[in-house]
Chain A
Amino acid sequence: MLIELGEVSKIYNQGQANEVRALRGVSLEIAAGAMVCLKGPSGSGKSTLLAIIGCIFPPTSGRAAIAGRQLARLPDRFLTLHRRESIGFIFQRFNVLPELTVRDNIALPLLPLGVSPKERRRRAEELMARLAISHRASFPARQISGGELQRVAIARALVNDPPIILADEPTAHLDTGLSREFMEIMAGLRRAGKTVVIASHDPLVFEHPAVERIIPIKDGTIHVS
């Protein structure tokens, strides 16, 4: 199993007046090469679960093993190192830096790895060609269309060739056409052997044929129906 969570809980502001239990005893297994959707409304704990799978922070309690690494109480430094190699992230609003060019945005994750400018350029161009946005390489991100932004975000997530791709409400601000396009690209990634986990409550996502499994989440727990 590539992703294994056992009785994972996450409590924010533990012990204080504003304590929040975002996850309660979540157990989950996702095999390599699977495409899964975490389905639930906002506030259900989807983002928290995604953050744990994405090695952004460890769980408060419980077991979490991602791509062969135990996360529990791993210091932030090691989490980040692991995240770099294992996880590609696609954010809700894509979170592309508007003043940077498309090429520079895609290459962002490579900077702290000490990758040379030549190699960064090569990898970015390879991905831009794959996603058909090479013609926008030198444009600042604020000048490109929504669909192109989507592809930039995907390219950026793939630049380190991670085994796991995570997407957090990727279609929340897209129209139907672009949403469909997005899911097609995700399906393609899955066929290429990546493990894809998408957190969404958009039917265009969880009803897509490529999604093998829907994991419903509500009030911090998984509801198995």
Chain B
Amino acid sequence: MTPSLEKQFNILDYALSSLWRRKLKALTVLLVFAAVIFLIASFHLLSQALSEKSRLLLARTPEITVQQMSAGRQEAINLASMEKLKGIFGVRRVAPRVWGYYFDEVHLANYTVMGLDFARMPEGSLPAPVKGEIAEAVGQGGVVAGASVVKSLGLAERGIFSLFRPDLTLKAFTVKGEFPPESEIITHDLLVMDIEDARDLFFIPADKASDLCVFVANQGEIGTIARKIADALPGTRVLTRPQIQKTYQVVFGWRSGFGSICLLTALAAFTILAWDKASGLSPEERRETAILKVLGWQTADILTLRFWESLIVSGLAFLLGITGAWLHVAYGDGFLFRPVLLGWSVLKPGLGLVPDPKLADLLLIFSFSVLPYLAATVIPAWRSATVPADSALGG
């Protein structure tokens, strides 16, 4: 090994022993720093895992959704519009949907009711139920329900329940299946039924639907087809799946950014602590530096020593914080931060998130944490390195 490389190892070795000799101070800084990194990393990993999960689940949604607009608000669309769409090249299928929200006053919960024309929906457009029949074969009066709905209505024991129509008459349903836990994030409050049942429940006329799902043959042509639809049906809003995915990303990103700002205050407080700790040179430390200098250590060597000390402390804190954050998100579902990132729904789904940090994510968290710490300790490190050598002489 070359002398200069060996020298670095020697100084690193001494840095480790120096930290060990001052373990209380080093440990304090390390633990507080790890806690700050834990918060920042948890937040980032959670939002990343959520957006990844939603990306996977959104893969099942129709490529294009067409909604009728009136005075800037959505209203029911005429089924006759479907005819105009059939002529557009590249459109594979068009299926109407009737959907809405049902507020259960007894259990104080909102359900999303989705009525689908199963004959027209393509295979695999919904997650397969874990219990019971495929959603597409539900038949009149049958529903496939999300896990939270099943729990809320106590449907595990009984298979039949009723919901109120607008005129307060009851409509009975039979539970034919339940959605699997992996899909909870979108199916937790979902009740899927035949389109006619939904029409009956919400009193939607036979020639109307809430919106139209358009499935295309070539994913690359979504944009072009969407434009054609917009031309064919003026007054409608045409939403594409890529757009919805981007919206989710923006919202997650926005929320994540907002949360990051709040965490910056924690970071700022820690940086001040770090500065304070690093600046407090005890007489022993001053003497030690002066002795080293008389013994032939250059100022640059002392600076290197302080750099290694900072790097070791911050590196260990980083590893500790990231590991804690990963465990927090993977096993704890990110319980500390979920309220910030998820909505206001009463029915909160279990998430089963698996964070998958890439190098870029680690770099990001590193920039938020270790970088400011190293910067905060530069001047104190220099001050300690410029203790004059002759102060070791004399009593």
Q: Do chains A and B touch in the complex (CB under 8 A)?
A: yes
Contact surface of A with B, Cβ cutoff 8 Å: 47-48, 50-51, 54, 56-57, 76-77, 80-81, 83-84, 89, 91-93, 95, 97, 99-100, 104, 108-117, 156, 160, 168-169, 172
Chain B residues with Cβ below 8 Å from A115 are 3, 6, 10
Chain A residues with Cβ below 8 Å from B395 are 92-93, 169, 172
B389 engages A111 (CB within 8 Å) = no
Chain B residues with Cβ below 8 Å from A50 are 393
Q: Which of B1-30 contact A (CB under 8 A)?
A: 1-7, 10-11, 13-14, 17, 21
A80: shortest Cβ distance to chain B, in Å? Answer: 5
For residue B14, which residue of chain A has the nearest CB?
A111
Check B204 for interface membership: any CB of A closer than 8 A. Answer: no
Q: A196–B291 Cα gap in the complex (Å)? A: 20
B6 engages A114 (CB within 8 Å) = yes
B390 engages A77 (CB within 8 Å) = no
B10 engages A91 (CB within 8 Å) = no
A114 engages B390 (CB within 8 Å) = no
B6 engages A116 (CB within 8 Å) = yes
Q: Which of B246-288 contact A (CB under 8 A)?
A: 287-288
Chain B residues with Cβ below 8 Å from A109 are 295-296
Known: A112-B301, A114-B6. A89 touches B21 (CB 8 A): no
Check B233 for interface membership: any CB of A closer than 8 A. Answer: no
Chain A residues with Cβ below 8 Å from B299 are 76-77, 80
For A83, give its contact among B10, B296, B300 (CB under 8 Å).
Answer: B296
A64: shortest Cβ distance to chain B, in Å? Answer: 15
For A89, give its contact among B6, B17, B294, B300 (CB under 8 Å).
Answer: B294
Q: A146–B328 Cα gap in the complex (Å)? A: 54
Chain B residues with Cβ below 8 Å from A81 are 298
Interchain residue pairs with CB less than 8 A apart (25) = A47-B393, A50-B393, A51-B390, A56-B389, A56-B390, A56-B393, A57-B389, A76-B299, A80-B296, A89-B294, A91-B393, A92-B393, A93-B395, A95-B291, A95-B392, A97-B288, A99-B21, A100-B17, A111-B7, A112-B10, A114-B7, A116-B6, A168-B393, A169-B395, A172-B395
Chain B residues with Cβ below 8 Å from A95 are 287, 291, 392
Q: A117–B300 Cα gap in the complex (Å)? A: 21
For residue A89, which residue of chain B has the nearest CB?
B294
B288 engages A168 (CB within 8 Å) = no
Q: A94–B137 Cα gap in the complex (Å)? A: 90
Chain B residues with Cβ below 8 Å from A93 are 395
Check B297 for interface membership: any CB of A closer than 8 A. Answer: yes
Chain B residues with Cβ below 8 Å from A97 are 288, 291
A77 engages B14 (CB within 8 Å) = no
For A168, give its contact among B300, B301, B394 (CB under 8 Å).
Answer: B394
Q: A168–B291 Cα gap in the complex (Å)? A: 13
Q: Which of B354-395 contact A (CB under 8 A)?
A: 388-390, 392-395
Chain A residues with Cβ below 8 Å from B295 are 89, 108-109, 156
Check B292 for interface membership: any CB of A closer than 8 A. Answer: yes
Q: A83–B393 Cα gap in the complex (Å)? A: 15
Residue interface mask B299-318, A partner, CB < 8 A = 1: 11100000000000000000
B394 engages A80 (CB within 8 Å) = no
Chain A residues with Cβ below 8 Å from B14 are 111
Q: A4–B207 Cα gap in the complex (Å)? A: 111
Chain A residues with Cβ below 8 Å from B296 are 80, 83-84, 109, 112-113, 160
Q: A100–B291 Cα gap in the complex (Å)? A: 14
A116 engages B1 (CB within 8 Å) = yes
A114 engages B291 (CB within 8 Å) = no
Name the residue in A50, A99, A117, A160 with the highest tally of chain B Cβ atoms < 10 Å from its Cβ: A99
Chain B residues with Cβ below 8 Å from A116 are 1, 6
Q: A163–B49 Cα gap in the complex (Å)? A: 66
A91 engages B392 (CB within 8 Å) = yes
Name the residue in A51, A80, A110 with the highest tally of chain B Cβ atoms < 10 Å from its Cβ: A80
Known A112-B296, A113-B3; 7 more pairs at CB < 8 Å: A56-B294, A57-B388, A57-B389, A77-B298, A80-B296, A80-B298, A112-B297
Known: A47-B394, A76-B299, A92-B394. A54 touches B7 (CB 8 A): no
Check B293 for interface membership: any CB of A closer than 8 A. Answer: yes
Q: A110–B297 Cα gap in the complex (Å)? A: 9
B392 engages A113 (CB within 8 Å) = no
B390 engages A112 (CB within 8 Å) = no
A201: shortest Cβ distance to chain B, in Å? Answer: 13
Q: A47–B2 Cα gap in the complex (Å)? A: 37
Known: A115-B6, A116-B6. A108 touches B294 (CB 8 A): no
A114 engages B4 (CB within 8 Å) = yes
Q: Which of B196-248 contact A (CB under 8 A)?
A: none
Chain B residues with Cβ below 8 Å from A169 are 395
